[in-house]
Every structure is written in C-alpha cells, then in structure tokens.
Amino acid sequence: MIEKLIDLRSDTVTKPSPEMREAMFNAIVGDDVFDEDPTVKALEEKAAKLFGHEAALFCPSGTMTNQIAIKILTQPQQEVICDLLSHIYYAEGGGVAFNSGVSMCLVDGDRGRISATHVADNVNPPQNIQQPLTSLVAVENTNNKGGGSCYTMKQLSEVAAEARKHKLKLHLDGARIFNALVETKDSTQKIGKLFDTISVCLSKGLGAPVGSLLITSKENLNKAKRVRKVFGGGMRQSGFLAAAGIYALDNNVEKLKEDHRRAKNIEMILKELNYVDSCLSVETNIIMFKLDDKKSVPDFLNYLSKNNIKGYQFGKQTVRFVTHLDFTDSMLEKLNNTLNNY
C-alpha cells in the first residue's frame, strides 16, 4: 500500500472531499461575468449575510481580494498602516505599490497584532503635505507569520475605534477568520461591523479548492467588480467553485477545532525535543518553531521528506507546520514517531 503523504506545509494543500466534489458536480452554473451564475450569487449572498454586510464578491484568491480592497479604499500617494508581519506587505509581490500606488507604514506588533496605540502613533497629520495621507488600517486575523495568532474582540474594537477617530478605512485580511472565531467564539456579525472590507479565504482551512470572498457594502461592490475585471479575475462558470465554497461554509467551520487540537498536540511534542529551540504558543492551526542553531532546517526537512512528511521553511532557523482537514490522528502519531527519531 502506498503511504499517504503528510503535507503540513500549509492548509491550502487539502483536496476536496467526495461530498464537496458531489456538490461541485451538481452545481447549477451560468456566466458570472454576465452576472448569471446562481451558485456564485448564492455564495456571495450567504457570505455577506453572515458578516452583516450588503454584498460580497467571489474572487480567485485571497491576494486578489486583499488587493481589490486596498485599491478601492485608497488613492495613490496615500498610506496604509499594518503590522510588518502582514501578508499584504511581505507576500503579495509589492502589490500595494504596483496596484494602488500607496506606501505602507509598518508597525511592530505582537505576533502580527496591532493595537490602538500603534494606530494613534502612526497617523500622519493630514495638514503635513510632506507625508503621505494615512487612509487605511489593515489587520490580519489570524496572522499567518505570527503563527496563527488571533485578536480578541476587545483588541479589534479598540483598533477600529481609533481608526474611525481619524476617519480611516478598515480592511480585515480574514484569510483564516474562521480559525480565529472558533477559538474566541466571537460572532461573524460583530466582527463584520468593524470593517469596510473583509477578505475570507475558502481554500485554506475550509478545504475548498479555490476561492476567496470580498465582503463589503453595495457601493464598494460596484467599484470592486471593476477592479476584479482589470485584475483578470472575472470568471465564467465559477459556480462549480462557488458550490465548493458553500459546502465549506456549511460543513467545515466547526471542524477547524480538530485542526487546532492537533496543532496544540504538535506543540507539546515539539517542546519535548532537544533539537527544538523554541515554539510559538499555538493559538489556532499554525505551528512556528525554531530549530537549535546546530541543526540545519533544510537537513531537517529532508529527513521529514524521506519519511513522507512535508514542512515549510519560514526563516533561517524557523519551520512552519499547518494542520488541516486532510491531517488525521494517525498521521499525528506517525509525525510524533518521526520527530522523536531525528
């Protein structure tokens, strides 16, 4: 029997389950650029309602939903405040400059979480023409590079209140928002109220093969649709993909708790290993750990790979594991044995 690959590089590696494939197969579709795909419409309405907003736009990726949000909420020469561990800064190809012509004011938060004070201290005085006009605050929840850290509702509300005091717009990169919400038990409605735009990924922990949603107002939707078009993100019979998204929202949110339980288990295993220097405390499904200086990350990953396990290098001594729907308890047991035999 061929042993199954244990792929912990990311939660984006999942394959659609038979039930999800069935939902995709049976989807009723139309040309969504002509606004004629009922399944896409159903997904967009569902997502908008869930977060208490008027509208949502189905896009191919989380990078696109983030980039569209920044484009519609800013003007060239303006500035975005965000944490230096934000995906929009370090992993979207400099898109904020390329697409929107804005600069970034990077703050050094707590594992990717910014505070109201960071906002207050970094808003440029609007009358000073030498400085870019601050116009947007972007937060990422959970924060990927911060090891799946999540905000409390209090922290988010304070950031939002400070931003509003300065008449700034607010974007949430909620690629993994449901990972945060199953932990904090906050509601989608409450979180939705704080932001002008929310990006939610269906292709990460929720197990869909493709797709992200940009959730916002009707007014913003019209602008966002134009930007999606010029970014090349208008899709035709995308109802097949939207059906997977609907299935994911209906069936896979609660399952994230299992991913978190397994991630916490891995943290406990790692903390017992003498070649592991440190591990960020696990909050959701992302495990970030550092190897001892004497160990090489490529050698370690090579050893894992020979044992049919994949991890991801995330810095000189840092490795990332991410748990997901296709990672089971028996795989956890095998991982434990393999880690202990290194």
CB of 61 to ligand PLP, least distance (A): 3
* Of 196, 185, 180, residue with least CA distance to 52: 196
Residue 111 to residue 89: CA distance in whole angstroms: 15
CB of 112 to ligand PLP, least distance (A): 9
Q: Which is nearer to ligand PLP, 68 or 331 (CB)?
A: 68
The verdict on 318 binding ligand PLP (CB under 6 A) reads no
The helix-helix angle for 329-340 and 256-271 (nearest 10°) equals: 10
The verdict on 62 binding ligand PLP (CB under 6 A) reads yes
Contact predicate 224/64, CB 8 Å: no
CB of 204 to ligand PLP, least distance (A): 7
Task: Count CA within 13 A, CB hemisphere, residue 74.
Answer: 29
Q: What number of chain residues touch ligand PLP (CB under 6 A)?
A: 12
* CA 56 distance to own-chain centroid: 17
CB of 146 to ligand PLP, least distance (A): 10
Find the binder of ligand PLP among 29, 201, 224, 280 (CB under 6 A).
Answer: 201
The verdict on 248 binding ligand PLP (CB under 6 A) reads no
The verdict on 63 binding ligand PLP (CB under 6 A) reads yes
Q: Which of residues 132-151 bind ligand PLP (CB under 6 A)?
A: 140, 144
Tokens encoding 341: 């035999």
Find the binder of ligand PLP among 53, 71, 87, 262 (CB under 6 A).
Answer: 87
Cα–Cα distances in angstroms (integers) from residue 163 to residues 81, 155, 160, 209, 342, in the given order: 10, 12, 5, 35, 48
Secondary structure element (H or E) that encloses residue 195, with its range:
none
Q: Answer positive or negative: Cα dihedral of 192, 194, 195, 200.
A: negative
Residue 101 to residue 104: CA distance in whole angstroms: 10
CB of 306 to ligand PLP, least distance (A): 26
* CA 177 distance to own-chain centroid: 7
Find the binder of ligand PLP among 149, 188, 212, 265 (CB under 6 A).
Answer: 212
* Of 179, 328, 153, residue with least CA distance to 253: 179
Residue 249 to residue 245: CA distance in whole angstroms: 6
The verdict on 173 binding ligand PLP (CB under 6 A) reads yes
Find the binder of ligand PLP among 6, 8, 58, 61 (CB under 6 A).
Answer: 61
Other Cβ atoms within 10 Å of 188 Cβ, number: 21
Part of the chain binding ligand PLP (CB under 6 A), chosen from 61-69, 243-251, 263-271, 299-307: 61-69
Q: Which is nearer to ligand PLP, 63 or 318 (CB)?
A: 63
Q: Which of residues 66-85 bind ligand PLP (CB under 6 A)?
A: 66
Cis amide bond preceding 216, omega within 30: no
CB of 24 to ligand PLP, least distance (A): 18
CB of 83 to ligand PLP, least distance (A): 11
User: Interface with ligand PLP by CB under 6 A: which residues?
Assistant: 61-63, 66, 87, 140, 144, 173, 175, 201, 203, 212
